[in-house]
Amino acid sequence: MSGKPKLHYFNGRGRMEPIRWLLAVAEVEFEEQFIVTMADLDKLREDGFLLFQQVPMVEIDGMKLVQTRAILNYIAEKYNLCGKDIKQRAIITMYSEGILELGEMIMDLPYRYPGAEEKQKKVILEKVTGRYFPVFEKVLKDHGEDFLVGNQLSRADVYLLEVILTTEELKADILSNFPLLKAFKARISSIPTIKKFLQPGSPRKPAADEKSIAEVKEFLAEMRQREAAGP
Ligand code: GSN
């Protein structure tokens, strides 16, 4: 059996994408088993592999971990992406949770707001420029260092770069009033492991397109139908 972590999720970004990012930063090679049909998800459930019947699930170090945050915490701790002491860890967690929350809002955009997607996109972009990005622009300005916390790379830096790139897909000039975030983006993107992850052919997933959005919607509808039908 290979010692590589095995990721079980759909062939898209979703909740697995920050997990892929952290593994790439830690230079951990991984395998992916994509869930394509409801039968694939059923099989994992029947095998008893999904504690709460949900994915993402990651097989790693003899465990079958579920819950995105638990998986991220484990990888970040194992590969020293959580700061040097408990105070740094607290700040890194605080930044990370904020950024992950924003990432989830963006992830949900094509699925949760039928008929009101453009309006919701506007709401999100206003939060990005009015709430989230000013926080990190100020952090970088106040301490003048290269990374968000403790002058070393942490998971907060990784998540922030990820969310910057995702928001740029929604609005290309989103960083125009954030010069320090612009420099941060260039700096963090040039870290060799990250540079490699950003190149074509890496396990990084592309932005959802019409076809993949339609597939996910179909999957969600099937799940809802099943739930409504009961056990
Ligand atoms: O973060 C987590 O891993 C959990 N708190 C949520 C996981 C989750 O909702 N997974 C979905 C698919 S991924 N979507 O965003 C799932 O497995 N839903 C099936 C179900 O029966 O809840």
What is the Å distance from ligand 1's center to 15 Cα? 8
Residue 1 has pLDDT above 80, yes or no: no
Ligand 1 nearest atom to the CA of residue 71, by list position: 3
- Residue 74 neighbours by CB distance under 10 Å: 17
User: Which tokens sit at 210?
Assistant: 């019409």
The Cα 7–Cα 59 span in angstroms is 7
Q: Would you say the CB of residue 67 lies under 6 angstroms from ligand 1?
A: yes
Boundary residue ending a domain (45, 79, 113): 79
77's CB contacts (< 8 A; 6+ apart) are: none
Q: Would you say the CB of residue 13 lies under 6 angstroms from ligand 1?
A: no
Residue 22 has pLDDT above 60, yes or no: yes
Residue 181 has pLDDT above 80, yes or no: yes
The packing angle between helices 86-112 and 133-143, to 10°, is 150
What is the CATH number for 40?
3.40.30.10
Residue 187 has pLDDT above 90, yes or no: yes
Average pLDDT rounded to a whole number, residues 34-46 = 96
3-state secondary structure of 31: strand
**Which of the four pLDDT bands, split at 50, 70 and 90, describes residue 23?**
very high
- Ligand 1, atom 4, lies closest to the CA of 67
Q: Would you say the CB of residue 71 lies under 6 angstroms from ligand 1?
A: no
68's CB contacts (< 8 A; 6+ apart) are: 15, 16, 18, 19, 56
With vertex at residue 204, the alpha carbon angle to CA 132 and CA 53, rounded to the nearest 5 degrees, is 85
Residue 68 has pLDDT above 80, yes or no: yes
Is-contact 221 177, C-beta < 8 A?
no
216 within a domain of the structure (yes/no): no
Question: Tens digits of per-residue pLDDT, 122-150?
Answer: 999 999 999 999 999 999 999 999 999 99
Q: Would you say the CB of residue 14 lies under 6 angstroms from ligand 1?
A: yes
Q: Are residues 148 and 51 in the same domain?
A: no
Looking at the chain, the whole-number percentage of residues with pLDDT higher than 70 is: 99
Domain span at residue 151 reads: 86-191
> Which has more pLDDT, 1 or 213?
213
What is the Å distance from ligand 1's center to 55 Cα? 5
Q: Are residues 160 and 130 in the same domain?
A: yes
Question: Tens digits of per-residue pLDDT, 70-111?
Answer: 999 999 999 999 999 999 999 999 999 999 999 999 999 999
- Ligand 1, atom 17, lies closest to the CA of 54
Q: Are residues 133 and 49 in the same domain?
A: no
Residue 2 has what pLDDT?
58
Q: Are residues 49 and 92 in the same domain?
A: no
- Ligand 1, atom 2, lies closest to the CA of 67
Boundary residue ending a domain (27, 59, 79): 79
Residue 121 has pLDDT above 60, yes or no: yes
Q: Are residues 105 and 182 in the same domain?
A: yes
Number of domains into which the chain is organized: 2
Site to substitute for ligand 1 among 7, 8, 11, 15, most atoms within 8 A of C-beta: 15
Boundary residue ending a domain (20, 52, 79): 79
Burial status of residue 150 (CB atoms within 10 A of its CB: 0-12, 13-18, 19 or more): middle
18 within a domain of the structure (yes/no): yes
Question: Tens digits of per-residue pLDDT, 153-175?
Answer: 999 999 999 999 999 999 999 99
Site to substitute for ligand 1 among 7, 34, 54, 226, most atoms within 8 A of C-beta: 54
The Cα 8–Cα 70 span in angstroms is 15
Q: Are residues 18 and 56 in the same domain?
A: yes
**Which of the four pLDDT bands, split at 50, 70 and 90, describes residue 227?**
confident
The Cα 7–Cα 204 span in angstroms is 13
Residue 231 has pLDDT above 80, yes or no: no
**Which of the four pLDDT bands, split at 50, 70 and 90, describes residue 223?**
confident
What is the Å distance from ligand 1's center to 56 Cα? 7
Residue 120 has pLDDT above 80, yes or no: yes
- Ligand 1, atom 12, lies closest to the CA of 55
What is the Å distance from ligand 1's center to 14 Cα? 10
Beta bridge partners of 7: 32, 58
**Which of the four pLDDT bands, split at 50, 70 and 90, describes residue 179?**
very high
Q: What is the mean pLDDT of the chain?
A: 96
Ligand 1 nearest atom to the CA of residue 69, by list position: 1
**Which regions of the chain does DSSP assign to beta strands (E)?**
6-9, 31-34, 57-60, 63-66
